[in-house]
A and B are shown apart, each in its own frame.
Chain A
Amino acid sequence: MTRQLYLTALFFLIHWGAFSQTIISGKVLDEKNLPLPGVNIYINGSYDGATSDADGTFEFETEEEGSQTLIYQLMGFKNQEFTIVCNSNPIAFQDVSLREMITEMNAVTISAGAMQASDASKAVVLKPLDIVTTPSAMGDIIGAFQTLPGTSTVGNDGRLFVRGGDASEVGIYIDGLRVGNAYGSTAGNFPTRTRFNPNLFKGTFFSTGGYSAEYGQALSSALALNSKDISPRSQGDLSLLSLGGGYSHTLSSAKQSITVTGNFFDLGPYQKLIKQNIDWERGPHSWDLEMASQKKLSDGSLLKVMARTESGGMKLWQKQAGQEGRGIYIDLNNRYTFAQSNWKKAYENGWTLFTGLSYSNNTDDIFYDSVNLQKNSKLIHAKFTGIKDFSDRISANSGIEYIQSGYSEGIVEANLERDYVDNQFYGFTEWDFYLSKKLVFRSGLRAGLSSLNKESWIDPRASFAYQLTEKGQISLAGGTFSQVPVENFRVLNPDLKNVQSKHLILNYLYSESGRTVRAEAFYKSYENLVTFDGLPLAPENPINEGKGYAKGMDFFYRDSRLIKNVDFWITYSFVDSKRQFDQYSTKVQPAFAPKHNFSFVAKHPMQKLKSQLGLSYSMNDGYAYTDPNQEGEMNSKTLSFQNLSLSWSYLPKPNLIIHFAVSNVLGRENVFGYQYAQTPNASGVYESLPSGQAAPRFLLLGVFLTLSKDKTANNLNNL
């Protein structure tokens, strides 16, 4: 009896230890009930498991006993878990279907109005490097965006104009924080540039309408620049240009980095050498100091600080139509400071918190003829946002903001000064609902309050995107947008109401590796535009009586595969805009909104010559202007604008770049409008002067040297 017991025990032990095997088989399907291969099916805590075959089936043996957890796992899909009992009876498991997780990588994105310049995403219209290698841009961020759909080039202004909107309708943000006076101060038809160097940023988001509720105080367009993260290495960058030079030093460790930059520019010597159309007394000159620092804190959050201060000026004579002599003497001096800091952390539980503060301060000291005019703008922007991913299908982005905007202007001799301070409060919330990875809805609400005009408002916005085919998608966006009037109107009439605009945008986007096609149609309405009496230089009695519209469509095609070693893009934008605004008593086509706009940009790397050639060509059908010798407003149009620019970058060594660029190679005499005498001459004719280019051509020669232990470093981004 005992002997028998031993044997039985022995049998069980052996069985338990080595021979108890349960065969588990089954089939895995996807959401459409098609077989799903490659799924890892295993018993939790053991090595036992299998990978599903092409037909979705699997089979494996396990020596585990009793109640076990069977896990189905595949990258990009939601795990599924089941409890099974292993007792050496074969288990033919039910069919299991796995649901695909919706991620940034595989889901449709809202493309209406939006253009992204980034390394990460594939459906990009512009790469970060394009900003520095587009010849016509001359290293200016805005210059590169002027070759994109929905924008128009206004050569004597330099700022960004989007779809019939004026330059103030483009809101510029760094890390989500508003930048005041992002463009340099200028005078006398000399085009301005953005103050910020492109190499501060890792990517940009540019929207020509219908954008997120996160952005306010931008009627036409939002341009969001995202600053770089921690620098990978310590280095020094030296740049010598035909117009000046600078040095930048970066200190970097694994957890933090800091870059300090100093630049000095003086166009004077260059302008003496090459014939200019502007009568310069002293060419534009400036210096700037910049600091950018990034730090990874011990809790995994990222803290960024950026600060910039600069000073510049110019002196020139502006010839007046119908008058003898050099004209009016303008002496401009500018001081500008910008600082911002932000902190961001992504938590494990799906929350991402962001908080930031920015400060801009701009002072212009201008002698116009002999009148000394002083202007100062201050902007403080505080922002706190929280993004919550409730699941892979629903996420919400909400935040509160405070903006303090102050402005003062005065005439020193007359002891005249007027100013205002406006406190604005905002709240926004925006929800994304993914019904599938092919269909997304976004709805948002932005509410605002201004202490100055005592107005409160709510702007609803909505958009959706649907993936039509593997590579094509459509997207629709609409909403209302509000913006307080510009400073020089508000200071005259603090009760001015918000200017409002409604957008409706339909977009088609086709993207595959190396090829992007984008077509967009839009309609935009304007309400409460500010009109005034008198001339733009001295507006009187501004009121919200204007209105208008802009409608049109644009096309974009980019291809880097069609022609070997050539990366090019073509843009055509059609804008039909009429609005009653400024001094106009009727609805007119604004000077900054040419109807037909075309650009072509191509880049050709030449490995053997260690060079890259760039070409860009822009044209439009001309700018509207008012000829007082004829009836009506905006009754004439200039000749078409055309600009062919070329650039050549030469990299003889990994850490040395020589860059040469010429704008308007063909020397076309572009005219952006005409300045008329205020009174007719003896024969009853209003005499005129063309507002043309600062010079027939612009030449830039730069040498960029990177000093680093790592010899491969070069400062291509500084071009």
Chain B
Amino acid sequence: MKKYFLIFALSFIWINILKASDPAFEKAMAKQIQAMETIQTLEESQKVSNTFLRISEAQPEEWLPLYYAGLLQIESAFRFDVDKDQAFEQALEYIEKAKKIAPENSELTALEGYAIMGKISVDPSNRGQSMTPQAMQLFGKAISLDKENPRAVLLMAQMEWGMAQFFGSGSEKACGMAKMGGDLLRKEKEKITDSYIMPTWGSRIASEFEKACQQN
């Protein structure tokens, strides 16, 4: 009887230990990633972002929570009325921290480029000159780190599109890249399960490109 009790008790302890290990992390992440989809206000964005930061604090060896916290900062700068420069700087800070955990990571590199792109958008005429090459280089590096990263390709397509607009040149290159990004995104979809917590965003950009490129 005593033996059974011990097994019984140990099994509970085991469950308690498990709580702090991966399935819980993945579950918590999955929940927040789901919550990201429905963000409508700055407050909601802040709540989700704060939760990612809490997860990051509790699991300092994981880069993904910081990645999503950074992504939320960038997106909130584009969507809501916030101090844009400050938000992009904050995003870069999270990315910098995440890069220390996962150096040479394609997703983080692409996200860094996205934040730089955001900074350019605040003052394109003055920042474009010096920061465009920086963003392009980051997207290029992200692609070379992972040729199947649809976000890196789509973001680079966005830069190409913006430059084609600025210089009044053709958008074929941008559209070609966007198509490639869309294909990669579809390929990525096959991998996605309920517990998949790696970045999967980008379909909105891809579909916007589809529309814009058809018009041309």
Contacts and interface: CB of A to CB of B under 8 A. Distances in A.
B57 A45 contact: yes
Contacts of B16: 16-17
B163 A51 contact: no
A54 interface: yes
The SS class assigned to the B binding surface is helix
A48 B54 CA distance: 8
A46 B12 contact: no
B193 interface: no
B133 A713 contact: yes
A42 B57 contact: yes
By CB atoms of chain A within 10 A, which of B46, B50, B83 has the most? B50
Contacts of A9: 5, 9
B196 interface: no
A47 B133 contact: no
Contacts of A714: 129
B147 to A, nearest CB: 19
Contacts of B178: none
A51 B47 contact: yes
Interface string B147-183: 0000000000000000100111100000000000000
A292 to B, nearest CB: 15
A717 B134 CA distance: 16
Contacts of A122: 85
A330 B99 CA distance: 63
B53 A14 contact: no
A49 B137 CA distance: 38
B15 A17 contact: yes
A38 B46 contact: yes
A13 B12 contact: yes
Nearest to B127: A119
Contact of A45 (B9, B58, B86, B123): B58
Nearest to A105: B86
Interface stretch (A515-523, A604-612, A683-691): A604-612
A674 to B, nearest CB: 43
B201 interface: no
A567 to B, nearest CB: 8
Nearest to A610: B168
A473 to B, nearest CB: 18
B105 interface: no
B28 interface: yes
Interface string A677-719: 0000000000000000000000000000000001011101100
B51 A49 contact: yes
B72 to A, nearest CB: 12
By CB atoms of chain A within 10 A, which of B54, B83, B89 has the most? B54
Interface in A113-166: 119, 122, 127-129
B137 A232 contact: yes
Nearest to B65: A47
A181 to B, nearest CB: 29
Nearest to A202: B130
Contact of B50 (A16, A46, A49): A49
Interface string A46-65: 11111101100000000000
A63 to B, nearest CB: 8
A46 B57 CA distance: 8
B123 A119 contact: yes
A450 B189 CA distance: 74
A651 B167 contact: yes
B50 A51 contact: yes
B136 interface: yes
Contact of B130 (A14, A119, A610): A119
Contacts of B53: 40, 73
Interface string B122-147: 01011101101110110000000000
A712 B43 contact: no
Nearest to A41: B50
Interface in A47-101: 47-51, 53-54, 71, 73, 75-76
Interface in B47-99: 47, 50-51, 53-55, 57-58, 83, 85-86, 89-90
Given A654-B163, A713-B133, A40 B126 contact: no
Contact of A128 (B55, B126, B133, B136): B126
Nearest to A228: B130
Contacts of A37: 43, 46
A48 B58 CA distance: 9
A33 interface: no
Contacts of B12: 13-14, 16-17
Given A119-B127, A712-B136, A47 B5 contact: no
A297 interface: no
Contacts of B123: 119
A119 B132 CA distance: 14
A16 B12 CA distance: 9
Interface in A606-662: 607-608, 610, 651, 653-654
Nearest to B84: A513
Contacts of B50: 38, 40, 42, 49-51
Nearest to B160: A712
Contacts of B85: 105, 122
A10 interface: yes
B16 to A, nearest CB: 5
By CB atoms of chain B within 10 A, which of A13, A51, A607 has the most? A51
A44 interface: yes
B126 A49 contact: no
A466 B130 CA distance: 33
B43 A47 contact: no
A349 interface: no
A457 to B, nearest CB: 41
A75 B53 CA distance: 11
A46 B55 CA distance: 7
Contacts of A73: 53
Contacts of B137: 232-233, 710
A45 B54 CA distance: 8
Given A119-B126, A232-B133, A40 B54 contact: yes
Contact of B9 (A13, A46, A119, A653): A13
Contacts of A653: 167, 169
B132 to A, nearest CB: 6
A232 B50 CA distance: 33
A37 B12 CA distance: 38
A647 B9 CA distance: 84
Contacts of B1: 2, 6
Contacts of B129: 129, 714, 716-717
Contact of B43 (A13, A38, A128, A651): A38
By CB atoms of chain A within 10 A, which of B8, B16, B133 has the most? B133
A6 B2 CA distance: 9
Contacts of A42: 50, 54, 57
A712 B9 contact: no
A45 B130 CA distance: 41
B46 A51 contact: yes
A263 to B, nearest CB: 21
A488 B8 CA distance: 97
A62 to B, nearest CB: 11
Contacts of A717: 129
B58 A712 contact: no
A232 B134 contact: yes
B30 to A, nearest CB: 13
A127 B9 contact: no
8 contacts: A17-B12, A40-B54, A46-B54, A46-B58, A51-B46, A232-B130, A607-B166, A654-B169
The 10 A-B residue pairs with the shortest CB-CB distance, nearest first, are A40-B50, A232-B133, A51-B47, A51-B50, A42-B54, A38-B46, A13-B12, A127-B126, A49-B54, A654-B167
Given A13-B9, A607-B168, 6 more contacts: A45-B57, A51-B43, A51-B51, A76-B86, A105-B89, A232-B134
Interface of A: 2, 6, 9-10, 13-14, 16-17, 37-38, 40, 42, 44-51, 53-54, 71, 73, 75-76, 105, 119, 122, 127-129, 202, 232-233, 605, 607-608, 610, 651, 653-654, 710, 712-714, 716-717
